[in-house]
Chains A and B, each alone.
Chain A
Amino acid sequence: MEPVLLRARGVPDSRSIATYLAAGGYEGWKKALGMGPDAVTKEVLDSELRGRGGAGFPTGRKWSFVPKDHPGPRYLVCNADESEPGTFKDREIIEYDPHQVVEGVAIASFAIKANTAYIYIRGEFARWAKILEDAIAEARQRGFLGKNIMGSSFDLDIWVHRGAGAYICGEETALLESIEGKRGFPRLKPPFPAVVGVFGKPTVINNVETLACVPHIIVRGAAWFSSIGRPKNTGPKLFCVSGHVNRPGVFELPLGVTFREIIEEHAGGVRGGRKLKAFFPGGSSAPILTADEVDTGADFDACAAAGTMLGSGGVIVFDDTVDMVEVADNVAHFYAHESCGQCTPCREGSDWCMDILDRIVAGHGRPADPDTLLRICRFSSAGMTICPLGDAFALPISSIVNKYRSEFERRIAAATPLPQKKQPVLPWAGPRPGFGI
């Protein structure tokens, strides 16, 4: 397809406002100011744009939850935390086309009548935070931000707020706490952020890619956007392909292509002529799919029907040399490290899974281990925790145990008892989380 979100990739000097304006940049912003907030929201609603941050919630609907009659400030927050393993698309947008993000943030802020917007970017992305700050400064200098923008009497400031290393701050309510200057502890919902958000005010949180779609919808219309993709799964989507493929990278494709097309055609197939074994379709929080499921459609509803999630669009590919027990162990290390610790099923459950999986990998598995893992995971899903991170570790681990159980059993059959009951430490695994590391 003709690139939309990545049209600037490869264009010389693509980050500068001059290049952006020459390609029709900020036309959407001008048009939106003329349309008024309600018409902008209606256009986004009609486009059927769904959030690209993970959950696929309809963006226009989210905007319309902000109470109309609320006196006082409200906020727009752009989520550039990009921490889901396998996801590297927001960085690509910011790298090549930061003004697209600034324009999307501006239009969304106008639609919900917010005069302040924050872009929350993960701490590691120092370079990309600077790129955004430079773009914001350029836009302000040209009068696209600030006071009385283009004579519309609408004011808007955008600030970049850097995180400092915490996956959980990608979760929207943890992110709001982090903007407020606190530890990133997710909040219980309801109230939802659209009613009580950052600083206690109505707040809309959208992902970078979601907001980057908005200027195109305003300029080219909802009908154009919804003609791309499939019904209820409309528009272009960035797929990040990593792992054992010949051409890893970010590919812009209509929602609804199959994972086979993404992996085989766009990413050049499994590398070294090997066979596909398994893949995460949407970051490591999504249940894993096997090679037999590669014809699943890459959209929100097709993934849900296949028992998984499109998530962030991070496709992680494993070839037939990969040991799935070790994959489960790696996933457990990630979530054990990133659990914020508020809820027992998530904090303890992710640690227990990590301990059990480390032990199986080290050659000391026990026959009851697979069922114990499944039981721990069951206790940490389906609403047993404050935020979805509880599900995010439980679902992928239980999917691996269920789909590759024979690999667990083979290892366990050959296992020896654990010497001195000492927890084994694997030489290659990440550091074991805990106090003092």
Chain B
Amino acid sequence: MNTRPIVAASPEALQIVTFDAAMEARIAELLPRYPTRRAAILPVLWLCQERFGWISPGVVAAVAARLGEAPAFVEGVVSFYTMYQTAPPARYVLQVCTTLSCAWCGGRELVAHLKERLGISFGEITPDGTFQLVGVQCLGACGQAPVIQINDDYYENLDIAKLDAILDELAGRS
């Protein structure tokens, strides 16, 4: 079982966020898809993560108010699902698959290399805020093992040299 508290990273993180007209328009598109407002929680949280970068206590409060839920209920949902960021993430979140096919086809070596190159362990962020290392379970791409998901994108059939090239490229982007 895995559950993560939502971090009050700074006083601003507690401030309830406001949804602008564009955001409201997208929420209005979502609501008629479901017979209850509660069912829109997951998609609205996705919109918020896209927009605000992570799910802060202030986002939880805003989502709860908009959908007529208690903040505690929304927080319970957020902490259940591993893809909602409950603390400010790095620019690039490296989600390394640690499950069977990846682990035995070079994934363990990638994990060791990443920990050494970045000087961080699972759950940590490099001091410059560029990379975050997350160990994840099977990404559903086992035929292309080993696999790493970086933000939304899949990188498959990796080895240490290919991974280094990708990280160099990402670190060089402004």
A181, chain B: closest CB distance, angstroms: 4
Partner of B2, one of A90, A125, A337: A337
Which of A289-297, A366-374, A409-417, A422-430 contacts its partner? A422-430
Report the separation of the CA atoms of residues A258 and B1 in the bound assembly, to the nearest whole angstrom: 36
Within 8 A of A (CB), among B86-110: 95, 98-101, 103-105, 108
Report the separation of the CA atoms of residues A435 and B139 in the bound assembly, to the nearest whole angstrom: 22
Decide if B141 touches A159 in the complex (CB within 8 Å). no
Partner of B38, one of A82, A127, A161, A180: A180
Contacting residues, chain A, for B111 (C-beta < 8 A): 427-428
Decide if A242 touches B145 in the complex (CB within 8 Å). yes
Contacting residues, chain B, for A433 (C-beta < 8 A): 1-2
Within 8 A of B (CB), among A22-68: none
A145, chain B: closest CB distance, angstroms: 13
Within 8 A of B (CB), among A165-188: 165-167, 178-184
Binary contact track A6-27/B, C-beta < 8 Å → 1, others 0 = 0000000000000000000000
B33, chain A: closest CB distance, angstroms: 5
Report the separation of the CA atoms of residues A429 and B152 in the bound assembly, to the nearest whole angstrom: 23
Report the separation of the CA atoms of residues A167 and B61 in the bound assembly, to the nearest whole angstrom: 27
B93, chain A: closest CB distance, angstroms: 12
Known: A126-B152, A180-B36, A428-B103. A161 touches B43 (CB 8 A): yes
Known: A87-B142, A125-B140. A430 touches B98 (CB 8 A): yes
Contacting residues, chain B, for A241 (C-beta < 8 A): 143
Known: A86-B100, A164-B84, A334-B99. A428 touches B137 (CB 8 A): no
Known: A184-B80, A428-B112. A127 touches B5 (CB 8 A): no
A-B contacts, 26 listed (Cβ < 8 Å): A85-B138, A123-B81, A126-B152, A127-B154, A166-B81, A181-B34, A183-B76, A184-B81, A243-B101, A248-B145, A249-B143, A250-B143, A316-B100, A327-B100, A333-B98, A338-B2, A340-B1, A427-B112, A427-B115, A430-B122, A430-B137, A431-B123, A431-B135, A434-B1, A436-B4, A437-B2
Report the separation of the CA atoms of residues A430 and B139 in the bound assembly, to the nearest whole angstrom: 13
Decide if B122 touches A431 in the complex (CB within 8 Å). yes
Nearest residue (CB) in A for B149 is A124
Contacting residues, chain A, for B3 (C-beta < 8 A): 341, 435
Nearest residue (CB) in A for B76 is A183
Decide if A240 touches B142 in the complex (CB within 8 Å). yes
Within 8 A of B (CB), among A80-97: 82-88, 90-91
Contacting residues, chain B, for A123 (C-beta < 8 A): 46, 81, 83
Report the separation of the CA atoms of residues A42 and B123 in the bound assembly, to the nearest whole angstrom: 52
Decide if A240 touches B143 in the complex (CB within 8 Å). yes
Report the separation of the CA atoms of residues A330 and B145 in the bound assembly, to the nearest whole angstrom: 16
Binary contact track B18-41/A, C-beta < 8 Å → 1, others 0 = 000000000000000111101111
Residue A386 is within 8 A (CB to CB) of chain B in the complex: no
Contacting residues, chain B, for A437 (C-beta < 8 A): 2, 4, 122-123
Decide if A181 touches B35 in the complex (CB within 8 Å). no
Residue A237 is within 8 A (CB to CB) of chain B in the complex: no
Decide if A183 touches B80 in the complex (CB within 8 Å). yes
B91, chain A: closest CB distance, angstroms: 17
Report the separation of the CA atoms of residues A82 and B100 in the bound assembly, to the nearest whole angstrom: 15
Residue A144 is within 8 A (CB to CB) of chain B in the complex: no
Q: How many residues of A contact B (CB 8 A)?
A: 70
A123, chain B: closest CB distance, angstroms: 5
Decide if A165 touches B81 in the complex (CB within 8 Å). yes
Decide if B145 touches A83 in the complex (CB within 8 Å). no
Residue B65 is within 8 A (CB to CB) of chain A in the complex: no
Contacting residues, chain B, for A85 (C-beta < 8 A): 99-101, 137-138, 142
Report the separation of the CA atoms of residues A435 and B115 in the bound assembly, to the nearest whole angstrom: 22
Binary contact track A83-124/B, C-beta < 8 Å → 1, others 0 = 111111011000000000000000000000000000000111
Decide if A338 touches B142 in the complex (CB within 8 Å). no
Decide if A122 touches B140 in the complex (CB within 8 Å). yes
Decide if A162 touches B42 in the complex (CB within 8 Å). yes
Decide if A164 touches B36 in the complex (CB within 8 Å). no
Nearest residue (CB) in A for B3 is A435
Residue A284 is within 8 A (CB to CB) of chain B in the complex: yes
